Amino acid sequence: MPWLSAATPGSGGAGRPSPTVLLKNGARGLRSVATFLPARLRGFFADLGPGLITGAADDDPSGISTYSVTGAAFGYAQLWTALFSFPLMVAVQLMCSRLGMVTGRGLAGVIRRRYRRRVLWTACALLAIANVFNIGADLGGMAEATEMVTGIDSRILVPAYAALIVSLLFWSSYRRIARVFKWLTLVLFAYVGAGILAAPDWHAIVRATLVPHVEPTAAYIATFVGILGTTISPYLFFWQAGQEVEEERARGRRTVAEREGATGVELRRAKVDVLTGMFLSNFVMYFVILTTAASLHAHGVTEITTAQQAAEALRPLAGDRAYWLFTLGIIGTGMLSVPILAGSCAYAIAEAGAWRGSLDDRPKDARGFYAVLAIAMGVGLLLDFAGFNAVAMLFWSAVVNGILAPPLIVLVVLLTSDPKVMGARVNGRSLRLLGWTTAVVMAVAAAVMMVTTIVQPA
């Protein structure tokens, strides 16, 4: 790639472009992919933003590992969860989107104004706990996937990826970062290609998708909670609201007063954006489960624990192309999701502390925001070197999200149903019902998982 090798103005040395130049030219290279899309589709894609990026970031290496474990262990049996979780995911993310657009503040900023500080800081603590484990798991997953195809030691790649991501977040504007994130979403279609190459049983797939199959075992329920936890994750709530605020800032609305309120046209556009992003997220989840079910479970391989193992196992069963596509997906989704994990943590804590904080601010102007971002990355990095089992982090970080999400969803539903917060833009009856349903489903699933794990160990 020319932007990785040629010396450019503003580079950090001969042949070494700075992170800003790297990101700018990388975005230009990614945008060239759009020339292959029909004009109408290009226009539709151009109108998408925070919803698309949030949905794509949901399919991080931790999530891919959870879906891979699911497909290998249970075959097509949990394909139905993609349909089941879609409306729940849309409801929560749409409420977060509306909250950011109407109030002009992020989720933590609104909580700060409406609830006691202990509620606010408890919510931020839950987010930070889940995020640092996810960051550690995702950095490790990216590094191991890269080692598989390059032979470079993953212990070198983990800090290298962390340093690259921190550099890009520190020295690039929000608009440039958002543009690259947007085009990175195309990487997710690698999993669709891998699924087709795995030659699945389409009759069995249709049946498993439309007819739910449930097993009353600890392993099945833990996997189900893991799917919900990685699909409906706390960091997505904060990121979605925060990005709506960033979009407003990018349009020149710098103060809260300028950002407050949203037109019907803006809310409808946001709805399409969220629906598209969440559909993409669950579409990819569906194909990862399908791929590992068709290629691994169908051939008796049921004991994999990471996406990297799934990719390795795919090679002899589905061929080199499926292996390369699956591995590329792990690396690409990591580059998209890790910055969002760290960024959502920084947004939440900066808003909770009433600090200045935006990816458009320079580090010297938003020291607290960037300090939190760097600390989140640093703690996640340390987890990889502290002897924590990578397999356990990848899977159980998703389960932890499933346990932590319900109280955060309750806060989101309460806030977006409050006329003092939303004015005339409060949730409609259907959206409010879906929000409460999501909170109940997540809470019940987590409680049942705990009980079955105690009574009937996996």
Q: pLDDT digit string (tens) for 107-140?
A: 999 999 888 888 888 888 888 888 898 898 889 8
Share above pLDDT 70 across residues of the chain, in percent, rounded to a whole number: 84
CB-based contact 245:106 (threshold 8 Å): yes
Instruction: Tell whether the model's pLDDT for residue 6 goes beyond 70.
Output: no
- How confident is the model at residue 259, as a pLDDT? 86
Q: Give the residue-averaged pLDDT of 390-394.
A: 63
CA distance 156 to 381: 12
Task: Output the CA torsion 321→69→164→53 (10° steps).
Answer: 90
Q: What are 40-51's pLDDT values in tens digits? A: 666 676 677 888
CA distance 332 to 337: 9
Instruction: Tell whether the model's pLDDT for residue 186 goes beyond 90.
Output: no
Among 269-278, 293-302, 430-439, name the one with the lowest average pLDDT. 293-302
CA distance 94 to 105: 15
For residue 70, give Cα distances in angstroms to 4, 50, 311, 409: 37, 28, 14, 25
For residue 399, give Cα distances in angstroms to 115, 225, 453: 27, 6, 13
Among 20-34, 143-157, 227-241, 432-446, name the one with the lowest average pLDDT. 20-34
Q: Give the residue-averaged pLDDT of 68-91.
A: 94
pLDDT confidence of 199, banded at 50, 70, 90?
Answer: confident
Instruction: Output 447 or 7, whichever has higher pLDDT.
Output: 447
Instruction: Tell whether the model's pLDDT for residue 24 goes beyond 70.
Output: no
Q: What are 345-360's pLDDT values in tens digits? A: 999 999 999 898 888 8
- How confident is the model at residue 313, as a pLDDT? 75
- How confident is the model at residue 215, as a pLDDT? 87
Q: Cα 92 to the chain's mean position, in Å?
A: 14
Among 7-11, 150-154, 317-321, name the one with the lowest average pLDDT. 7-11
User: And the tokens for 373?
Assistant: 């971002």
Q: Give the residue-averaged pLDDT of 421-436.
A: 93
Instruction: Output 33 or 243, whichever has higher pLDDT.
Output: 243
CA distance 363 to 448: 45
Helix (H) or strand (E) holding 216: none
- How confident is the model at residue 224, as a pLDDT? 86
Q: Give the residue-averaged pLDDT of 295-301.
A: 85
Instruction: Tell whether the model's pLDDT for residue 17 goes beyond 70.
Output: no
The residue among 218, 131, 69 whose CA lies nearest residue 404 is 131
Domains and CATH numbers, the chain: 47-455 (1.20.1740.10)
Instruction: Output 143 or 305, whichever has higher pLDDT.
Output: 143
Based on its alpha-carbon atoms, the radius of gyration of the chain, rounded to whole angstroms, reads: 21
- How confident is the model at residue 399, as a pLDDT? 62
Mean pLDDT estimate for the chain:
82
- How confident is the model at residue 16, as a pLDDT? 41
For residue 6, what is the DSSP state? Answer: S
- How confident is the model at residue 397, as a pLDDT? 66
pLDDT confidence of 276, banded at 50, 70, 90?
Answer: very high
Exposure b/e, 180-197, CB count within 10 A at least 16 = b? bbbbbbebbebbbbbbbb
The residue among 242, 266, 193 whose CA lies nearest residue 345 is 242
User: And the tokens for 405?
Assistant: 């999400």
Q: Give the residue-averaged pLDDT of 229-257.
A: 86
CA distance 11 to 284: 37
CB-based contact 328:155 (threshold 8 Å): no
What pTM value is reported for the model?
0.84
Instruction: Tell whether the model's pLDDT for residue 62 goes beyond 70.
Output: yes
CA distance 188 to 330: 9
Among 17-31, 108-122, 216-230, 343-357, name the one with the lowest average pLDDT. 17-31
pLDDT confidence of 389, banded at 50, 70, 90?
Answer: low
- How confident is the model at residue 39, as a pLDDT? 66
CB-based contact 324:216 (threshold 8 Å): no
Instruction: Tell whether the model's pLDDT for residue 233 goes beyond 90.
Output: no
- How confident is the model at residue 370, as a pLDDT? 93
Instruction: Tell whether the model's pLDDT for residue 22 goes beyond 80.
Output: no
Burial class (CB in 10 A: 0-12, 13-18, 19+), 12: middle
